[in-house]
Amino acid sequence: MNDVGELKQYIEVHARAQRIPDTERRLILDRIHDDGDGDGSWAREWVRAGEQAEKAGQLQAAVRHFTTARFPYVDGPARQEATDRAAAAFERWRQAEASVIEPLTVDTPAGTVRAWTAGLSARDPKPLLLFSGGIVSTKEQWAPVLLQVARLGMAGLVTELPGIGGNTLVYGPDSHRLFPALLDAVADRARTAQSYAVALSFSGHLALRAALDDRRLRGIVTAGAPLHHFFTDEAWQRQLPRITVDTLAHLSAVEPADLGPHIRDWALSEDELAALDIPLAYLVSGRDEIVPAGEVALLRRQVRRLSLLVNDDVHGSPRHAAETPLWAVLSILRMRGVRDPRRALFGALWRLARLRARRAG
């Protein structure tokens, strides 16, 4: 059972990323007092909010609330029900309003990977944008971004980390192989030799490792990705939030007490980071309580084509949630060498959003 205080603390960045209004989030959190399965519990109150959104015909909002109900991971019937209801609400929305979003299932020797796609075409293949969230994010949470990918002149694919939603793989040292497997699966319908990834948090670590071996990945945008010290620094691991340790342990199929030794060999070495010859855009949260500051120093020292964006914020930069997607799109356009009104527009929108965030404190 999760600590309710931590649930309320760490949902902020995810709720803002999903555009759940702050006022609504606070009202729901005020009703929550435990992590059981009855009234006043985490799952029950967020599911109740999802049901209300469904009745109002607001299916995307319903998906967001059901997704939040399963946060941080499925640990029993209540969160499994929330996961199932999120998937069902998403499918109803997709059928009614977003039929251009299509499912993709890829079977690998390690298990099945599922994704949502848009813009794939054998007759008119386009460069590919891969998108993946962190250790608590489902593909349904992020799939609506696929409706915007065509504006970038790209096809899109949204997936999730091993152990989450429709991804049956166990999170482990070889999990980066899911990216090449996905590229292989759509190689006949996209220009996968020109693939770019927006891979947030722990997905960023996998994308970077994949890029060392797969030259189809031509650029990576990430935020708060662990690189080396997170996996090797035992002192840092001892002060990690319990919710982070428990979630990683669950996805990795190990006991929380065994997590440190289990992940130690997952670290990217200095030589590996130095070998990266593609652009990397990395969002740094200056008060990150999950990813150690040493990762940034390592990036500055080893990565040749690095663009850093630094926010005075906690992990995920929740106070900058409005500007982060704009920065990600702008970074992809820069990596691709696009110089047209789209880049100017996104640059202006990002600067305006950043100014508003600063004024808000």
Distance CA 64, CA 360 (A): 25
pLDDT at site 304: 94
Tally Cβ neighbours within 10 Å of residue 129.
Answer: 29
Distance CA 182, CA 173 (A): 18
Residue 306, SS3 per DSSP: strand
Domain termination site, one of 95, 115, 147: 95
Domain region containing 348: 100-359
Which DSSP symbol is given to 163? T
Distance CA 168, CA 166 (A): 6
β-pairing, 306-311 vs 280-285, is parallel
pLDDT at site 13: 87
pLDDT at site 359: 81
Domain termination site, one of 95, 129, 163: 95
User: Residue 349 corresponds to which tokens in the numbers above?
Assistant: 């929108």
β-pairing, 155-159 vs 127-132, is parallel
pLDDT at site 51: 97
Domain termination site, one of 44, 71, 95: 95
Query: Which residues of the chain fall below pLDDT 70?
Result: 361
pLDDT at site 357: 80
Looking at the structure, do residues 196 and 325 belong to the same domain, yes or no?
yes
pLDDT at site 38: 87
Task: Work out how many domains the chain is built from and give that number.
Answer: 2
Looking at the structure, do residues 110 and 216 belong to the same domain, yes or no?
yes
> What backbone phi and psi angles, to 5 degrees, belong to 140?
-65, -30
pLDDT at site 36: 85
